[in-house]
Amino acid sequence: MMEPIMLSWRWVWVVVLAGFVPRMLYAADWRVPRTDREIRVDGQLDEWQGIPALTLSPEVEGLESGGVFSGETDVYLTLQAAWDPERLYVAIVWRDDEWDIEEVKRRDAVWVDPQGKRRDRLLFFDNLKLHFHEADYDYVFWLSPRKDDQGPYFWCRLLEGYRRLERASLDPLVSTSLRDDGSQQMEVMFFWKQLRQDPKRKKPLPVTVILADSDQPRVSLESKLPHLKWLAWVGYIQFIE
Ligand SMILES: [Ca+2]
Ligand SMILES: [Ca+2]
């Protein structure tokens, strides 16, 4: 009997689309180069020139989204990443016409709405989620921007193995700087040891990036419910030597 050929959807698409729509394949890859430059986690992004960026904004094609955005000035975020043998670095530029920031601790991450539906409380504020996920690996990092003396707020959670047991994982290092135009720059430094990953792995790492944009500070969650909006980028990180 022949063994069934197991193909992930990704490779099915590679086969179907090869030579026809390379842009789509590129759109699902986030190229993360190895860096020999020293990256100082100080919220200044001078050392990030030339490193590929992902953009999340209502105008960007190929993103998943929910809710109604008011246009390209509603929210705009770029993400860059680079690695060295010990660390993964991420740089963020984040613009928003209205910052809506609140600390949502992990223990408060679920909110049960008046209809009894469990909802993700972090989606009711400005937040960025990085989610690395494979069959036996699941890492989540939530990050808010900073406004005045609030934030940035962040936490992470790591599950491993087929039983998804939680592993202790220290929070990464985060640094923010505010720009004159009201946007902010952030740098995040993860240690591979904490992520329990290896950039020299041969296969791409599946990742989902979610950007929640709320523009109603000091409004109750019930009132915010009809106005939730978010963007999501779903693809793979390719670690480039
Ligand atoms: Ca906005
Ligand atoms: Ca906002």
- The pLDDT tens digits for 183-196 are 999 999 999 999 99
Ligand nearest to the CA of 58: 1
Q: How high does pLDDT run on average in the chain?
A: 89
- Rounded distance between C-alpha atoms, residue 228 and residue 132, angstroms: 23
Instruction: Compute the average pLDDT of residues 106-135.
Output: 97
Q: How confident is the model at residue 114 (pLDDT cuts 50, 70, 90)?
A: very high
What pTM does this model have?
Answer: 0.88
Q: How far is the CA of 125 from the centre of ligand 1 (A)?
A: 10
Q: Which fold has domain 9-240?
A: Immunoglobulin-like (2.60.40)
Ligand nearest to the CA of 219: 2
Q: How confident is the model at residue 201 (pLDDT cuts 50, 70, 90)?
A: confident
In this prediction, residue 9 carries a pLDDT of 43
Q: How far is the CA of 76 from the centre of ligand 1 (A)?
A: 8
Q: How confident is the model at residue 59 (pLDDT cuts 50, 70, 90)?
A: very high
Ligand nearest to the CA of 76: 1
Kindly tell me if the per-residue pLDDT of 1 is higher than 70: no
Q: How confident is the model at residue 171 (pLDDT cuts 50, 70, 90)?
A: very high
Q: For residue range 16-32, list pLDDT tens digits in order.
A: 333 333 333 344 799 99
Q: How far is the CA of 215 from the centre of ligand 1 (A)?
A: 5
Ligand nearest to the CA of 184: 2
